[in-house]
Amino acid sequence: MTKKQESETILFKSYILEDSTYKGGGKKIVMPDGIEVHKLSSNENPLGFSDKAKEAITRATNDLSLYPDNTDIRLREALVRDFQNELSVDHFVTANSGSEIIDIISKVFLSEGDEIIVSQPCFLPYTAFTRWMGATAINVPMTPDYNYDLDGILKAITSKTRLVFLASPNNPSGNYIPYQDLNTFLSKIPSHVIVIYDEVYRHFADAKDYTSALPFVKAGHHIIAINSFSKTYGLAGLRVGYCYAPKELSNYMRKICKPFLLSSLALEGAIASLADTAFVEKTVDLVRTERSFVLAGLKELGITFWPTQGNFVLIDPPVEAIKFTSLMEQQGIMVRPVGVFGAPGKVRISFGVRAANTAMLSAIKTVLNN
pLDDT reading at 28 higher than 90: no
DSSP 2-50: -HHHHHHHHHS-HHHHS------PPPPP---TT---EE-SS---TT---
Please state the domain extents for the chain: 21-48+278-369, 51-275
Question: Which pLDDT does position 86 carry in this prediction?
Answer: 98
Question: Which pLDDT does position 5 carry in this prediction?
Answer: 55
The 3-state DSSP class for residue 164 equals strand
- The Cα–Cα gap between 363 and 333 comes to 7
pLDDT reading at 104 higher than 60: yes
pLDDT confidence of 242, banded at 50, 70, 90? very high
DSSP strand pairing (223-228 vs 241-244): antiparallel
CATH architecture of the domain with range 51-275: 3-Layer(aba) Sandwich (3.40)
The 3-state DSSP class for residue 176 equals coil
Question: Which pLDDT does position 166 carry in this prediction?
Answer: 98
pLDDT reading at 24 higher than 90: no
Arithmetic mean of pLDDT over the chain: 93
Question: Which pLDDT does position 11 carry in this prediction?
Answer: 76
pLDDT reading at 70 higher than 70: yes
Question: Which pLDDT does position 16 carry in this prediction?
Answer: 67
Q: Is the peptide bond before 172 cis (omega within 30 degrees of 0)?
A: yes
Question: Which pLDDT does position 267 carry in this prediction?
Answer: 96
pLDDT reading at 9 higher than 70: no
pLDDT reading at 25 higher than 90: no
pLDDT digits (tens, 9 = 90+) for 258-267: 888 899 999 9
pLDDT reading at 45 higher than 90: yes
pLDDT reading at 2 higher than 80: no
pLDDT digits (tens, 9 = 90+) for 312-368: 999 999 999 999 999 999 999 999 999 999 999 999 999 999 999 999 999 999 999
- The Cα–Cα gap between 82 and 258 comes to 24
pLDDT confidence of 370, banded at 50, 70, 90? confident
Give the residue from 353, 345, 304 showing the smallest Cα distance to 121: 345
Question: Which pLDDT does position 257 carry in this prediction?
Answer: 86
- Class in CATH terms, 21-48+278-369: alpha beta
Question: Which pLDDT does position 259 carry in this prediction?
Answer: 82
pLDDT confidence of 13, banded at 50, 70, 90? confident
pLDDT confidence of 228, banded at 50, 70, 90? very high
Q: Which residues of 282-342 form beta strands (DSSP E)?
A: 304-305, 312-316, 333-334, 336-337
Question: Which pLDDT does position 20 carry in this prediction?
Answer: 53
Q: Which residues of the chain form beta strands (DSSP E)?
A: 38-39, 92-95, 115-118, 136-139, 161-167, 194-198, 223-228, 241-244, 304-305, 312-316, 333-334, 336-337, 347-350
- Count CB-CB contacts under 10 A for residue 231: 26
pLDDT digits (tens, 9 = 90+) for 165-208: 999 999 999 999 999 999 999 999 999 999 999 999 999 999 99
pLDDT confidence of 59, banded at 50, 70, 90? very high
- The Cα–Cα gap between 12 and 16 comes to 7
- The Cα–Cα gap between 264 and 75 comes to 11
pLDDT digits (tens, 9 = 90+) for 125-148: 889 888 888 899 999 999 999 999
Question: Which pLDDT does position 341 carry in this prediction?
Answer: 93
Amino acid found at 110: L
